[in-house]
Amino acid sequence: MLGKRAIVLCAIGIVLVGVTYIVGLRPFQKAGEIKAVDACATLGDPSRAVAALRAVVPEHASYAFDDNVPDPRRDSMDSSYLTTCFIYGDGQQLGWAEAEMTEYDHPSGWIEEVVEQYDSASSLTPFTAGDKAVASPRVAAVYLPCTSHGSQRHLSVVVHLKQPGDADGTVLRSHLIVLAKNAAVFAHRKARCDRGAVG
């Protein structure tokens, strides 16, 4: 018959195995590593992007990225630009980033129609970048001027965290801001913008 100590140790073992499944790791499986060589180019500077990603996503055995540029801006008269980056952990989508050329009469319209899809207005607080930038522990977004052809042609850069890691809200928000600004710098250059700066 098992003693009390053995029963307690067995119970602890069962709990630990259950926790590893909950966080997406099989028992005794090493956590995966997010590598700069694998990260989306559209996230910008890879060392900064990877450091920020490591701080915000949950632990998984493996990570994968899907980087797309379905609508590059080919010349100064082109009025569109679109890139997307999807981040996966063990096949689950953890988050994504998107940069798109768009036009709103006022940045407040952009926040209401674009950013508030991913978090409530009360959760969003401003940070310094572009014409307008807001963030929460779930999303960070920058609205910055791009072209001189059309008075309101801007880039909308949004990073959305669908499955956050264990960091607290302040840490999540600060690293999402790094990701958004990093992606905005990349988009501003690749979209051949001749107005504004990320800041």
Give the pLDDT mean for 47-54.
96
Q: Which residue has the higher pLDDT, 143 or 19?
A: 143
- The predicted structure's pLDDT at residue 4: 56
User: For the whole prediction, is pTM greater than 0.95?
Assistant: no
- The predicted structure's pLDDT at residue 197: 82
Instruction: Report the mean per-residue pLDDT for the chain.
Output: 87
Q: What is the pLDDT of residues 123-147, one digit of tens each?
A: 999 999 999 999 999 999 999 999 8
Contact 87/53 with Cβ under 8 angstroms?
yes
Sign of the C-alpha dihedral, residues 103, 105, 106, 110?
Answer: negative
Q: Look at the chain and count its residues.
A: 199
Q: Which of 23-37, 48-62, 85-99, 168-182 has the lowest mean pLDDT?
A: 23-37
Q: What is the dihedral of CA 173, 85, 37, 21, to 10 degrees?
A: 70
Instruction: Tell me the percentage of the chain whose pLDDT exceeds 90.
Output: 72
Give the pLDDT mean for 113-130.
97
Going by C-beta distance under 8 Å and a sequence separation of 6 or more, which residues neighbour residue 150?
Answer: 79, 103
Strands 92-103 and 125-126 come out as unpaired
Give the pLDDT mean for 86-92.
97
DSSP H or E segment with residue 167: none
CA 52 to the chain's CA centroid: 9
Give the pLDDT mean for 65-87.
90
pLDDT at 24 > cutoff 60: no
- Per domain, the residue ranges of the chain are 1-30, 36-190
- The predicted structure's pLDDT at residue 5: 53
Alpha helices in the chain (DSSP H): 4-22, 46-56, 107-113, 169-190
Q: Shortest CA distance to 161 belongs to which of 131, 137, 193? A: 137
Going by C-beta distance under 8 Å and a sequence separation of 6 or more, which residues neighbour residue 151?
Answer: none
Q: Which residue has the higher pLDDT, 25 or 61?
A: 61
